[in-house]
Amino acid sequence: MANNETKASKLIDKRIGELGDWRGKALSKVRGIIKEADPDIVEEWKWVKPTNPGTPVWSHNGGICTGESYKNVVKLTFFKGAALNDPSSLFNSSLDGKVRRAIDIKENDKINEGALKSLIREAVALNLKSK
């Protein structure tokens, strides 16, 4: 693991700990699913500014998705979500965007792990194909 990735992984661990509620558990769960779907995925920490401590990003030959936490949702935004096949209809947010699609996870939502792994793998394949 590269040094930047180690730092990013620690920042993601810290964010999960800081949330300290269902959002931390949800972010931790989707993080695990993402890593299971693609063991070569790279964890990054991007877009740090005074008003934002930063955002977890998962990449493989380009961005796959971000993992943001808000008051009522944990949002996974897929960079090329509009180009992905989503037979399980996981995407439930940003549906009118031309490129991105998002999954908003609410407090008591059950995550469809198989469908999420399929989306991750398809996003990785799309990145590899477009390089």
- 121 φ, ψ to 5°? -65, -40
* Residue 74 clears pLDDT 80, i.e. is over it: yes
Please state whether beta strands 74-78 and 42-46 pair in parallel, antiparallel, or not at all (unpaired).
unpaired
Domain range for 103: 3-130
Least Cα distance to 67 among 110, 121, 8 occurs for: 8
This prediction has a pTM of 0.93
Please state whether beta strands 74-78 and 63-69 pair in parallel, antiparallel, or not at all (unpaired).
antiparallel
- Domains identified in the chain, total number: 1
Tell me, what CATH number does 46's domain have? 3.90.1150.200
* Residue 76 clears pLDDT 80, i.e. is over it: yes
Q: What H or E segment, with its residue span, contains residue 3?
A: helix 3-19
Share of the chain above pLDDT 70, in %: 98
Residue type, 111: I
